[in-house]
Amino acid sequence: MSVLFIADLHLEVERPDITRAFLHFLQTRASRAEALYILGDFFEVWVGDDAMDEFQRAIAQALRQLADRGTRIFLMHGNRDFMLGQGFCREAGCTLLREGSVIELNGEPVLLLHGDSLCTRDESYQRLRKRLRNPFSLWLLRNLPLSTRHKLARKLRDASRMRTREKAAEIIDVTPEVVPQVMAERGVRTLIHGHTHRPAVHKLLVDGQSAQRIVLGDWDRQGWALEVDAQGYHLAPFPLG
């Protein structure tokens, strides 16, 4: 059996084409997989498990149906849905993964990240990320009035889009020299992440040994999935329609 990895679906009511493609993906490829890993930015925005709407609950129900059929599901925070919590995971039948989790694939350790922590040249974003991910900040955010959380989420989303438009491409991409450092620290030769929306398989050296960084694609004009089986790693797009 295979293991599937996806990221950056940015699910929202306004993109029914992505939702339809995802539900079809669950009913077909994911139902034949041993496990499905979703590495962040699953939703376009998430303001709290207590604020789940009908659309989000329908997604949770679809995941629960997949889990009930035997596929293990793992979910990691992204920069858009970092407030997603155990309430959603219980409803969806999935396990919330820590950023920087290491799993075993084909007998080797593999590091999983959303990917934004690798973009260290974007210093203003890293400062904001550190503040927002602080446990006390998260507690404050989750206890704000719902209307305030929605306003803050719109502000953060607009700021993210502005940052993408205005900053140089190399600033919002991963810092190349950071990647082998992180991989060496974690003792891995394979890293899988999303966030940058630049799907590719990058070959590199880690402590003098051949290694690879696999970047998952976003679901916008097409879908992307990484499939890992006994033959290796297979990253490929597929049509949304």
Residues belonging to the binding site for Mn(2+) are: 8, 10, 41, 79, 114, 195, 197
Could you tell me which residues come within 8 angstroms of residue 221 by beta carbon, excluding any fewer than 6 positions away?
Answer: 240
Tell me the CATH number at 82: 3.60.21.10
Q: φ and ψ at 21, to 5 degrees?
A: -65, -40
Per residue in 112-131, pLDDT (tens digit) is: 999 999 999 999 889 999 99
**What pLDDT sits at residue 167?**
58
Instruction: Examine the pLDDT at 150 and tell me if it is beyond 90.
Output: no
- Here the tokens at position 75 are 């979910």
pTM over 0.75: yes
Instruction: Examine the pLDDT at 68 and tell me if it is beyond 80.
Output: yes
The number of folded domains in the chain is 1
Which letter does DSSP use for residue 177 in this model? T
Residues belonging to the binding site for substrate are: 79-80, 122, 160, 164, 167, 195
Least trusted range by pLDDT, from 5-19, 149-163, 176-190? 149-163
Cα atoms in the Cβ-side hemisphere of radius 13 Å centred on 95: 11
- Are 7 and 78 in contact by the 8 Å Cβ rule? The answer is yes
Q: What is the mean pLDDT of residues 200-222?
A: 97
Residues belonging to the binding site are: 8, 10, 41, 79-80, 114, 122, 160, 164, 167, 195, 197
Q: What is the mean pLDDT of residues 2-13?
A: 97
* Pairwise CA distance, residues 106 & 234, whole Å: 13
Q: What is the residue range of 138's domain?
A: 3-238
What band does 165 get if pLDDT is binned at 50, 70 and 90?
low
